[in-house]
Amino acid sequence: MITAKARAVDGPDKPFRAAEIQRRDLDSHDVLIEIKYAGICHSDIHTAHGEWGPVNYPLVPGHEIAGIVTDVGPEVTKYKVGDRVGVGCMVDSCGECENCRKGEEQYCLKGNVPTYAGVDKYGEPTQGGYSTHIVITENFVVRIPDNIALDAAAPLLCAGITTYSPLNHWGAGPGKKVAVVGMGGLGHMAVQIAHAMGAEVTVLSQSLKKKEDGLQLGADHYFATSNPETFEKLAGSFDLIINTVSAKIDMDAYFSLLTLDGTLVNVGAPGEPLSLNVMSLIGHRRSFAGSMIGGIQETQEMLDFCAKHNISPRIEVISADQIDEAYERVLASDVKYRFVIDASTM
């Protein structure tokens, strides 16, 4: 067994504490990764706080992981010691179902194995990236291009792929008008990616306080949703809307912004149900969809796309002792735009 230093939480209202966790010995196709950086995702907060259902505490969150390969199993062929690699939101799947065979492991019909708060094929609880090391099968590791810094790479493993996947699937590109709801960790990635894909990009944010950032990152337009005139002016404008916020919003108001056959895709995951009037969809053959992360192949494609187009998250690097403070600041929308933990401080 491999002992890793970590930060764990013992309950919904408990602070993070220093901990040691055991990583399994390497199986034939396993890779040992020394974690250099781990991003903080809103999903970490929802899970740590028990908002998405029962949690098997103690919990080590973190599914935006960037590091270096330090050892490999005897049958590993994809990676070698010294490689720069990443791990995202899942660490395994059945590999046999229709969706897995299509490279859509995130939608494994038997359920993928999440990087934390799950149970692996050995029957052990999975623990995430707020730690110094992780052991994972090589098929769920991705390669980080040389021109992406490891600290900036970490948020791409969730925020990057969570926005790239729907933009890619619904064909964001030249001639398409795309709106991004929310200018946070996910939103600021969606703006950059949609712009690089060639779409006309509009940010819909509660206020205009991040307008300058949005325009610098590639948005063509920026509107405040707190202004009722925004919904009147933009009615019927967008082919695709990516909703990145993890809170209840007036879905019918946002559906009104879609064109004929337009689609609103939810990637934010609120802790409570959303409500809608189906007439908002029927009137213009509009669609309401959801999207998770991408599969491993698409995640690698996203990293290569970001490297090619010089896309990078804006990050604030923190020490492991600052996780509780970082959670409070995320909930207060006081971060531009992603916290990344320096694992050397574990």
Tell me the pLDDT of the chain averaged across its residues: 96
> In the beta sheet, which residues pair with residue 204?
181, 223
Residue 53 pLDDT = 87
In three-state secondary structure terms, 163 is helix
What are the DSSP E strand ranges found in the chain? 2-8, 17-23, 30-39, 65-72, 84-87, 90-92, 113-114, 133-137, 142-143, 177-181, 200-205, 221-224, 238-243, 258-266, 287-290, 315-318, 338-342
Q: Which residues of 225-234 are buried (b: 16+ CB within 10 A; e: fewer)?
A: beeeeebeeb
Distance CA 151, CA 278 (A): 43
- Confidence (pTM): 0.95
Strand pairing category for 200-205 and 221-224: parallel
Give the alpha-carbon dihedral of 326, 327, 333, 337, to 10 degrees: 50
In this predicted structure, what is the pLDDT of residue 8? 98
Residue entry with tokens 């795309």: 178
Contact 222, 215 (CB under 8 A): yes
- How many CB atoms lie under 10 A from the CB of residue 247? 10
Taking only the tens place, the pLDDT of each residue in 47-100 is 999 988 899 999 999 999 999 999 999 999 999 999 999 999 999 999 999 999
Residue 105: count other Cβ atoms within 10 Å of its Cβ. Answer: 26
Rounded distance, CA 292 to CA 307, Å? 22
Write out the H or E segment, with its range, that includes residue 161: helix 159-169
Residue type, 226: S
Residue 57 burial (CB < 10 Å; 0-12/13-18/19+)?
middle
- Report the alpha-carbon distance of residue 204 to residue 225 in Å, rounded: 6
Which residue ranges in the chain fall short of pLDDT 70? none
Spatial CA neighbour of 321 closest among 2, 4, 5, 12: 5
DSSP 171: T
201 phi/psi in degrees, rounded to 5: -115, 130
Tell me which amino acid residue 35 is: I
- Residues in Cβ contact with 246 at an 8 Å cutoff, skipping those fewer than 6 apart: 42, 46, 268, 269, 270, 271
Amino acid letter, 152:
A
Contact indicator for 115, 105 with CB cutoff of 8 Å: no
